[in-house]
Amino acid sequence: MTQTVEVRFKGTRKSYFTWPEDGEALRVGDAVVVEVERGRDLGRVTALGELAGRKCASACAGCAVGGDPAEEPAPLKPVVRRATADDLEVQDEIRRSEEEARRKVIQRVRSHDLVMKVSDTEWQWDRNKLTIYFTAEKRVDFRALVRDLASTFRTRIELRQIGVRDEAARLSGVGRCGREYCCSSWLTELSPVNLGLAKDQHLSLNPSQISGGCGRLLCCLKYEHEFYVTARKRFPKEGKTLRTAVGAEKVIAVDIFRERVFLRSEEQGTRIIPLVQLREEVEQLGDVLMTAEHRALMALEGPVAAPARPAAPAAGDAPSPSDPSARHPRRRRRGGGPSGPPPAQG
């Protein structure tokens, strides 16, 4: 029997492998040498067993989108062995040489007049492959560049275009909160973030204040968005006019944390009252404070039943004079009769 192992390499790159359960137990953080497509690579274990199996299943399902659903995923390659001290020393030497390789790549890019930004380079542990990560606004024809780099480094070259958010996740950095980027430390999936998230939270719409190091909107705008949307359902909409104890007042703002409502009227001016007090004032006047939460409850309860009509009187009973059904139907007058129009003159 084998267990699934998640191994993380440089940056955010990770993959899944197998390890025999009857072998020496692996632990999270152990450095291991793994079998890859062309050669061997070195990484560190980040998940084991059932957790790694679940993550592998979700990753495989995500990769299968747009492909043949009946096609089975390729079998996982094995973990060859634990990394030794010599292996780690070779790895450190390779990481130190990657910056020099990046500078050489930048020089070759400039010589080919290509509009692209080289973000990072990554050597495979056995130096059988050099992966170059770059960003570009448009598609780049780098076929000539690949041939040039292959003759320069004498190895297999792979150029991989990434987005600016993926670039920030690989290079890492410190955000405006003073901590490491979420995308490079613990965030496993980069979900789309739009300006509507900032509007719902009443944040500044200035891009310079709500953007991260990648130049895109902050990923953390999505963390508390659901809380703001749920909390606002308990409050009336801003700009709505309500009938309260002091007259007609307009809702100008709400404070979901202190549960207060800011009201303004032409006679009394501006006042701030708790949400509970506002609901009581509206209900004392015979109205209902309409909120999104109240509308949802009304939708669940269904439409209000119509009042029942009075039962028809039994046969032989005299109808009530007030009963509209007891009135005799109006007879239609025929033309030419006593009460009709006069006959036509010959």
pLDDT higher for 322 or 226?
226
Interatomic CA distance for residues 181 and 113, integer angstroms: 33
**Whether residue 340 has pLDDT greater than 70:** no
Out of 63-67, 273-277, 294-298, 327-331, which region has the weakest mean confidence (pLDDT)?
63-67
| pLDDT computed for residue 67 by the predictor | 39
**Whether residue 35 has pLDDT greater than 60:** yes
Task: Kindly report each contact of residues 166-172 with a partner whose C-beta sits within 8 Å and lies 24 or more positions away, as own/partner.
Answer: 166/12, 166/190, 167/119, 167/120, 167/133, 167/135, 167/214, 168/212, 168/213, 168/214, 169/11, 169/12, 170/10, 170/11, 170/12, 170/119, 170/120, 170/133, 171/11, 171/119, 171/120
Interatomic CA distance for residues 56 and 73, integer angstroms: 11
| pLDDT computed for residue 308 by the predictor | 52
Q: To the nearest whole percent, how much of the chain has pLDDT over 70?
A: 83
Q: To the nearest whole percent, how much of the chain has pLDDT over 90?
A: 58
| pLDDT computed for residue 24 by the predictor | 83
290 confidence band (pLDDT: 50, 70, 90): confident
Tokens of 168: 């920030």
The residues pairing with 44 across neighbouring beta strands, listed in sequence order, are 8, 31
| pLDDT computed for residue 68 by the predictor | 43
Rounded to the nearest angstrom, the gap between the alpha carbon of residue 119 and the centroid of all alpha carbons in its chain is 26
Interatomic CA distance for residues 208 and 217, integer angstroms: 9
106-135 pLDDT tens trace: 999 999 999 999 999 999 999 999 999 999
Interatomic CA distance for residues 57 and 70, integer angstroms: 15
**Whether residue 331 has pLDDT greater than 50:** yes
Say which CATH topology domain 90-162 has.
GMP Synthetase; Chain A, domain 3 (3.30.300)
Interatomic CA distance for residues 334 and 340, integer angstroms: 7
pLDDT higher for 175 or 310?
175
Out of 74-83, 174-183, 294-303, 333-342, which region has the weakest mean confidence (pLDDT)?
333-342
What is the pLDDT averaged over residues 145-167?
93
237-286 pLDDT tens trace: 999 999 999 999 999 999 999 999 999 998 889 999 999 999 999 999 98
Residue ranges per structural domain of the chain: 2-83, 90-162, 241-301
Contact assessment for residue 292 and residue 232, using Cβ atoms and an 8 Å cutoff: yes
297-317 pLDDT tens trace: 888 876 654 455 555 555 555
Out of 32-41, 76-85, 210-219, 316-325, which region has the weakest mean confidence (pLDDT)?
316-325
- pTM for the predicted model, two decimal places: 0.68
**Whether residue 63 has pLDDT greater than 60:** no
